[in-house]
A and B are shown apart, each in its own frame.
With several copies, the nearest count.
Chain A
C-alpha cells in the first residue's frame, strides 16, 4: 500500500539529488505539478528521461535541476523549439546538459523492457540513421534464427518514476485512461520508487472495463492528490489542454530573464 501523502512530502521522500527520474505522459497527463515541486525543492544533477521533454523538462532544465537528458523528441508540440533545452545544449546555460538521444521506437521499447524486467530491448530500428554513431547505448545484434540485424538498447530503469493519473482509490490503486502513453511501463520500470499524482482520490475507482489500465496499489510508493496537476497539459475527463499557454511558452522561454521571472512568479513563489 502506497503512502497517501502531500505532493511536497512525496517528492521530498523519493526524489534526491543525482537521481535518474522519468516523468512521463505522452502529451496527455504530464506531471507538471510534480515537476514544479522538484524545482521548488531545488533538486540538482538529475538525469531526466522522457520521450518528449515538453514544457515541464524545459522548465526543469532552465531551473538548473538537470545534468543529463535522455529523450527522443525535444520540441514544443505544434509550436516549435524548447528554448531552455536549446540554450542548455547550445550554450551550456544555466549549466551544461549532456544528452542521450534516441528514436521514439527505441525509448518505447526500452521502457517496455524495463517494465518486463529484461536488461535489453530488441527491435527493428535505427536502420541507416546516424543516431547510433552519436549514441553508444545503441547497438546491433543478429537474430540467432534468421540472422536479421536487430537494434538493441538497454532497458530504461530509472530510480524514480513520477506520473499523473486520473484517480486513485483509497487502497492506492491507480487508474489511467485515454492516451495512456508509456506511463504504465515507466512506473513498472522504476527501481526504487513510483510517485503518482492524481486528480482525485475516490472510494470507487470507476474503472470502465475489466481490462482497464490500472497500477495495483502494491506497485506504487506514494500517491498525492493534485487536482489540475497535469495542466497546462490535460487530464481526459477532467480538463482540456491549455494550448494558449503552450504558445505563450515560446515567448517566455526564449528570453532568459523573462523565464527567470516566470519561474519566480509561477513556480518558486507558488504554493505546491
Chain B
C-alpha cells in the first residue's frame, strides 16, 4: 500500500522538522534547499537561509536550480562576495546547520564527493569538495541527506573530502575542531546519528514501512541500531501541501520558455 508520500518527501519533511527559527543554515541545492524552505514556510518563519553564492537571509518564492539563482539575491537581506561568505560567515562559526550530500559516507560519517576509486586514476570522477570540507568543519552541526545504498554507505570512504569523525572517538576534537560534526544522517530508509562515544553512525529511527533487514542490506558495514529505536514520524498533510505547492511553483517557474524576468536595474 502506498503511504501517500514519496521517499523524497519523507526526507525533506524529516529534515525540515529538525530546524527552528533560530537556525542559520548553509543551504545546498536540491533536498536541503527544499527542506530549509519548507521549514521557513511552516514552523520556522524566522530561519536564516544562506547560500554559498553570498546570499544571506534569502526567502525565495520558488526553489533555486543553482546555488546562485537571481531569485536568491532578489529576496535576500543582502548579498556578499564569495570570499566574504567563506571568511566572515562560514569560517567565523556563524552558521548553526550545514547540509551536505554525499556520494559515499562511511561508518564514522566521513564524506566523499571527490572520486570513486583511486584519486589519480579514478573509476568515477565526482564534482569534488566545493564548500563541503570547511562547511563540515565550521558549521555547528552537519546534516547529511542521501539515499541509502550499500555503494554509498561504506565501511571506509575511498577519499575523505569532508571530515566527519575520522576513525571515531575523540578524533574530531583532537584535530582542534570545536563543532559537533555530522549529528544526523537522513536517508530514504532511516535516520542515523553518531554514537555518543564511538561516533559510529547508528540507526536512530526507521521510516514508516522500513524494517531493520532493509537497512542492514543497504548499509556497507554491520550497522548498529539504537536501543530506543523508534519510527520516524511520517509527513503530515499540512507539510505535504506546503511542500507540494512549493515544488509546483518551482517546476512552473523553471519550465522551458517560462522566462522569469530579472528585476529592472
A interface residues (Cβ-Cβ under 8 A, vs B)? 1, 26-28, 51-52, 71-75, 77-78, 81-82, 85-86, 89-90, 101-105, 108-109, 111-112, 115-118, 123-131, 134, 148-149, 166, 173, 177-182, 184-185, 188, 206-207, 210-214, 216, 218-219, 234-241, 243-244, 246
Contact = CB atoms under 8 A, between A and B. Distances in A.
Contacts of A236: 70, 73, 262-263, 265
B79 interface: yes
- Size class of B's contact patch? 35 or more
B229 interface: no
Interface in B42-72: 46, 48, 52-57, 65-70, 72
A207 B56 CA distance: 14
Interface string B141-183: 0000000000000000001111100100001100111000000
B114 interface: yes
Contact of B163 (A86, A128, A213, A241): A128
B91 A116 contact: yes
B24 A101 contact: no
Contacts of A129: 129, 133, 160-163
A234 B81 CA distance: 17
A220 to B, nearest CB: 12
Given A77-B66, A127-B137, A237-B263, A72 B83 contact: no
B67 to A, nearest CB: 6
B250 to A, nearest CB: 11
Nearest to B177: A127
B48 A216 contact: yes
A240 B88 CA distance: 29
30 contacts: A27-B66, A28-B68, A28-B73, A75-B128, A81-B126, A85-B125, A90-B122, A90-B124, A103-B129, A103-B130, A104-B82, A104-B134, A105-B91, A108-B87, A125-B137, A127-B133, A127-B175, A127-B176, A130-B160, A131-B161, A134-B119, A179-B72, A210-B74, A210-B78, A216-B57, A216-B77, A237-B262, A237-B265, A240-B259, A246-B65
A188 B92 contact: yes
Contact of B134 (A125, A180, A238): A125
B130 A52 contact: yes
Given A116-B88, A148-B176, A237-B262, A74 B127 contact: yes
Contacts of A81: 125-127
B258 to A, nearest CB: 9
B81 A181 contact: yes
B71 to A, nearest CB: 9
A66 to B, nearest CB: 15
A130 B131 CA distance: 15
